[in-house]
Chain A
């Protein structure tokens, strides 16, 4: 190897000695961290014992359940196939319960309204501002 090439090699590797670890480190620090949980309410681990009603369709099964003393209601949503809507928020009357997404079981607890036993569940696509479904219990 000739002297100018030796010098160039030396300069290139001195530069890489700085650039390589800096790039790897920067890339490592930039790795996206998993988003913190932002659920509207913690996922209920089990169904409440009293079944008040249900609404069954091919792609989903929705049940309204209650605690033994009826102090707490629970909406249990079993999504059997992927949702076609990009966004689906679930309301019990005017109260936002949470969001349903991919296939799975979603449980939302809420207090009964003082007006009575009638509960209307609304599924709303907030991106297209469209009501996807209304279920009455």
Chain B
């Protein structure tokens, strides 16, 4: 969280994250190139680079896409999410090297523009097996470029989190294009079935993770609460909410997080203004509700970020009756101060 925009908001965790990522990428490329040269000493530098960067980018893409559901299933994966954007930009850079060298190797030495050649050298658009697979990778790379270019918080603010998130869901289209790019490309001439099994395993693991995590979230959204009395809905017993933590309930349209802070209960909208992170899964640090994704903070009593920050979320009325917690699901305007409910010891 910063009061002004910087190219990269470096801190110790981000530096560690990026160094680990850098060493992983370098080690992967070195091992891949070493093994390839061991098995085929005549392989050219361009071919080595094209193959090593393609597999590295595909591996990184699978890691990136698995972080979201992993975090939903187990909060121990949260550190991976913290700097996921750098992982994404790294993946794009590696994929761009692959794409650039491929265009140079396969289309750069003819007498027409390499980009035109990409689209005109194979025009079997009606064939599945002979479809021009390089074009699929090209369009996936364009989507990654758009995502990498807008990955900064400046664009998140300009575009609004809703549009930014929708834009970045283009990664799923890109992923599908990449799978087709591999299936209609390398799979068609590499006869070893290990490539198919790697692809099946990777995509199967991703689908399983996303459906497991998504199913869990859908079940949470579909929990039915007793009918409202005086506009208040009974959600849980006080004892179910640990100190400096929250419990989350989907009441009507959106989720509400009820926090227990310094002997009081406060209810705020569960969605962080930064990247729609789940505030209710964060904890209270220095008296502020802290988003578990990127550390954005809000005051429990009014849902406002502490000055000089200006983010605000909706607040809700909360009551305690006979040791049970009741929440009024009608939101107050963002940043409205509410008294909360004192917990009698």
Q: Chain B: interface secondary structure?
A: helix
Residues of the A chain whose Cβ atoms lie less than 8 Å from the Cβ of B217 = 1, 6, 10
Q: Which among A2, A21, A26 is the interface contact of B271 at CB below 8 angstroms?
A: A2
- Asked whether B165 is an interface residue with its Cβ less than 8 Å from the other chain, the reply is yes
Alpha-carbon gap, A17 to B215, bound state (A): 13
Segment from B80-88, B93-101, B247-255 that makes contact with A: B247-255
Contacts between the two chains (Cβ within 8 Å), count = 89
- Asked whether B112 is an interface residue with its Cβ less than 8 Å from the other chain, the reply is no
B210 and A13 contacting across the interface, CB-CB below 8 Å: yes
Residues of the A chain whose Cβ atoms lie less than 8 Å from the Cβ of B169 = 5, 8-9, 12
- Known A1-B271, A12-B172, A26-B128; contact A21-B203, beta-carbon cutoff 8 A: yes
Alpha-carbon gap, A5 to B68, bound state (A): 13
B214 and A10 contacting across the interface, CB-CB below 8 Å: yes
- Asked whether A49 is an interface residue with its Cβ less than 8 Å from the other chain, the reply is no
Question: Nearest chain-B residue to A6 (Cβ)?
Answer: B217
Which has the most chain B C-beta neighbours within 10 Å: A6, A8, A26?
A6
**What count of chain B residues pass the 8 Å CB interface test?**
37
B218 and A16 contacting across the interface, CB-CB below 8 Å: no
Question: Nearest chain-B residue to A9 (Cβ)?
Answer: B214
A3 and B221 contacting across the interface, CB-CB below 8 Å: yes
Query: Closest CB-CB distance, B122 to chain A, in whole Å?
Result: 15
- Asked whether B207 is an interface residue with its Cβ less than 8 Å from the other chain, the reply is yes
Alpha-carbon gap, A17 to B166, bound state (A): 20
Segment from B51-59, B140-148, B181-189, B336-344 that makes contact with A: B181-189
Question: Nearest chain-A residue to B217 (Cβ)?
Answer: A6
B278 and A1 contacting across the interface, CB-CB below 8 Å: yes
Residues of the A chain whose Cβ atoms lie less than 8 Å from the Cβ of B207 = 13, 16-17, 20
Question: Nearest chain-B residue to A27 (Cβ)?
Answer: B183
Query: Closest CB-CB distance, A52 to chain B, in whole Å?
Result: 41
- Asked whether A14 is an interface residue with its Cβ less than 8 Å from the other chain, the reply is yes
- Asked whether A40 is an interface residue with its Cβ less than 8 Å from the other chain, the reply is no
Query: Closest CB-CB distance, B165 to chain A, in whole Å?
Result: 6
Segment from A28-36, A87-95, A103-111, A127-135 that makes contact with B: A28-36
B255 and A3 contacting across the interface, CB-CB below 8 Å: yes
- Known A1-B278, A20-B203; contact A13-B183, beta-carbon cutoff 8 A: no
- Asked whether B237 is an interface residue with its Cβ less than 8 Å from the other chain, the reply is no
Alpha-carbon gap, A6 to B165, bound state (A): 11
B188 and A27 contacting across the interface, CB-CB below 8 Å: yes
A6 and B214 contacting across the interface, CB-CB below 8 Å: yes
Residues of the B chain whose Cβ atoms lie less than 8 Å from the Cβ of A119 = none
Residues of the A chain whose Cβ atoms lie less than 8 Å from the Cβ of B278 = 1
Residues of the B chain whose Cβ atoms lie less than 8 Å from the Cβ of A51 = none
Residues of the B chain whose Cβ atoms lie less than 8 Å from the Cβ of A3 = 221, 250, 253-255
Q: A2-B162, A5-B166, A31-B129 are in contact. List 20 more A-B contacts (CB 8 A).
A: A1-B217, A1-B277, A2-B254, A3-B254, A5-B169, A6-B214, A6-B217, A7-B218, A9-B214, A10-B211, A10-B218, A13-B207, A14-B211, A16-B203, A20-B203, A23-B176, A23-B180, A27-B129, A27-B187, A31-B187
- Residues in chain B within 8 A of chain A (CB atoms): 128-129, 162, 165-166, 169, 172, 175-176, 179-180, 183-184, 187-188, 191, 196, 199-200, 203-204, 207, 210-211, 214-215, 217-218, 221, 250, 253-255, 271, 276-278
